Amino acid sequence: MTRTLFHGGDVFDAASRQAAKADVVIEGNKILEIGTGLDGDEMVDTTGKTLLPGLFDCHVHFTSSGDLDLVNQVLRPFSIKYFEAVANMEATLRTGITSVREAGGSDLGVKTAVERGLVRGPRMQISIIMLSQTGGHGDGHLPSGACFASYDPYPGNPRGLVDGPEEMRRRVRELIREGADVIKVATSGGVLSPRDDPRHGHFRHDELDVLVGEAEAAGLFVMAHAQATEGIKAAIRSGIRSIEHGIYLDDEAISMMLEEGTWLVPTLSAPRAVVAAADAGARIGETILAKAHQVMEVHSDSFRRAVEAGVKVAMGTDSGVGPHGHNLEELGLMAESSSMSPGDAWFATTASAAALCGVEDQLGSIEPGKLADLTLLDGELADLTKLAERVSAVWKDGRRLV
């Protein structure tokens, strides 16, 4: 088998969160060696560049393409989203992201198409659809009585609305039957839903306990869309692994996260994408836009306090709310909004994210025996500007894709 040597540049070390000069050798789909003075059958010159493990985005929606215009959404043919997903997955790969958690929208068919090589895309853990209470963040009913069809069930995609512990038990089991790798639940209201409030906690503890119990029985983790303080605390209490968005974090919620080892996936890009879409002329409901403005400032402040306290962070963008392929802008936002160093931001995008997803034995750092997912960045890690343009090559499973 051909041994490929990466030589001349820096390599990111997840443990120290720093880059240093080193050689890396891969063979087949595995990383063989890291060190100095290594040789191989062919060489990739990495002079002036930094080699990173394949990057993670822990919160994307491939079947959404950042078009938030209400009228456009209502008039879109149902199946166009699967074709758009092909371009969205390609854009994600091109930015160096080789693994994602799909936070809602992609079903087993999308994942299988990538695995079979019919289309190109990152490795993915799919949640299929977010579970939400009636009137919650996943309830697509509009004040007119119309309802977004994307929330209706179809083969492979169970209904997302659920009320009561018994319905919850069945629905989680249905999601597992349909191929979910992770269960997603909304434990609070959100921004992109017309009739709920991001400050309200959703689902009661009996419902969340059943949800986590059923997921655990199948060996799956749970991710919670959680913006409200009460929704965040309820999620932590019930043993949910990650808080997505985490907008209204108070000190008690932060210390609970530290105690339970809960991850924060901040998605600082998301409310900014909503405001940017409105500025560009997208017809977004007034209530939705007001909510986006309302959460933006408090969101950054919550994130800053969580980082200061030492909460575990994994990078996630909510791409799909905004266009795909801009994922790495989140690193700059994280560093600007908090005391995170660039090394911390890369750690959140690699080793920490892999640990959140439970794949740290295979991915997330450049170590012998791990899978050969690699991203080559022009220049230094400390520079978080124009990252998308600086990703010059990407390998997934030992194969160069970009």
Residues that bind Zn ion (CB under 5 A): 103, 318
Nearer to Zn ion, 103 or 351 (CB): 103
Q: Least distance to Zn ion from the beta carbon of 55, Å?
A: 18
- Determine the Cα–Cα distance for residues 390 and 201; give it in Å rounded to an integer: 41
Q: Least distance to Zn ion from the beta carbon of 321, Å?
A: 6
Q: Least distance to Zn ion from the beta carbon of 320, Å?
A: 7
Nearer to Zn ion, 49 or 101 (CB): 101
Nearer to Zn ion, 318 or 373 (CB): 318
- Cα 367 to Cα 143, 168, 224, 228, 371: the distances in Å are 53, 40, 31, 39, 9
Which residue is it, tokens 């890291």? 34
Nearer to Zn ion, 318 or 329 (CB): 318
Which residue is it, tokens 């990466």? 6
Q: Least distance to Zn ion from the beta carbon of 104, Å?
A: 6
Beta strands in 46-174 (DSSP E): 49-53, 55-60, 97-102, 123-126
Nearer to Zn ion, 60 or 282 (CB): 60
Q: Least distance to Zn ion from the beta carbon of 30, Å?
A: 33
Q: Least distance to Zn ion from the beta carbon of 68, Å?
A: 13
Using DSSP's 3-state secondary structure scheme, residue 195 falls into coil
Using DSSP's 3-state secondary structure scheme, residue 92 falls into helix
Nearer to Zn ion, 191 or 211 (CB): 191
- Determine the Cα–Cα distance for residues 59 and 315; give it in Å rounded to an integer: 8
In the sheet where 123-126 sits, what is the strand order? 55-60, 97-102, 123-126
353: tokens are 């994210």
Beta-carbon contacts of residue 401 (< 8 Å; ≥ 6 apart): 93, 120, 394, 395
Q: Least distance to Zn ion from the beta carbon of 212, Å?
A: 20
SS3 content of the chain, % helix, strand, coil (to 5): 35, 25, 40
Nearer to Zn ion, 139 or 318 (CB): 318
Taking a C-beta distance cutoff of 8 angstroms, is the pair 102, 64 a contact? no
- Determine the Cα–Cα distance for residues 349 and 344; give it in Å rounded to an integer: 9
Q: Least distance to Zn ion from the beta carbon of 195, Å?
A: 18
Taking a C-beta distance cutoff of 8 angstroms, is the pair 353, 58 a contact? yes
299: tokens are 């969101």
Q: Least distance to Zn ion from the beta carbon of 318, Å?
A: 4
Q: Least distance to Zn ion from the beta carbon of 205, Å?
A: 24
108: tokens are 């087993």
Helix (H) or strand (E) holding 6: strand 3-7
- Determine the Cα–Cα distance for residues 195 and 140; give it in Å rounded to an integer: 9
Label the pairing between strands 55-60 and 97-102.
parallel
Q: Least distance to Zn ion from the beta carbon of 39, Å?
A: 45
Nearest 5°: the CA angle 361, 377, 13 is 40
- Phi/psi for 177 (5° steps) reads -60, -35
